[in-house]
Amino acid sequence: MTVLSEDLRVSREGAGWTRICAYTDLLPERGVCALVDGRQIAVFRTFDGSLYAVGNRDPFSGAFVLSRGIVGSRGDEPTVSSPMHKQVFSLVSGECLDDPAVAVPTYGIRVADDAVEVNVL
């Protein structure tokens, strides 16, 4: 599922928050991509219901594919593995767990009125 910019509405609850989709639209352990203020954001919902938002660009390949990665964990750390070269990124910090010198950006994410919102500020 890809959410395009014309589907986004700025939340009335605060500047910088952009509605992505309904919480129930996100399937556990699957990612979606949303275009927010010109940025591709990969949004994930884990089995425990937690939400995460990271940049969709894989820094190793340059491809915008992290939303299609494999969601998992290393220990207690929720992760996504790039579908390109399989590097693993923390969904909490954005750090590459295979190469700590590399990271993807992370973004604020919340649920408001049953809708998932992302903050890219």
Q: Which CATH number covers residue 103? A: 2.102.10.10
E strand or H helix that includes residue 41:
strand 39-45
User: pTM to 2 decimals?
Assistant: 0.87
Instruction: Give the tens place of pLDDT for each residue, 55-101.
Output: 999 999 999 999 999 999 999 999 999 999 999 999 999 999 999 99
∠ CA 60-17-31, nearest 5°, is 40
The total number of structural domains in the chain stands at 1
Q: Closest Cα to residue 26, out of 121, 119, 118?
A: 118
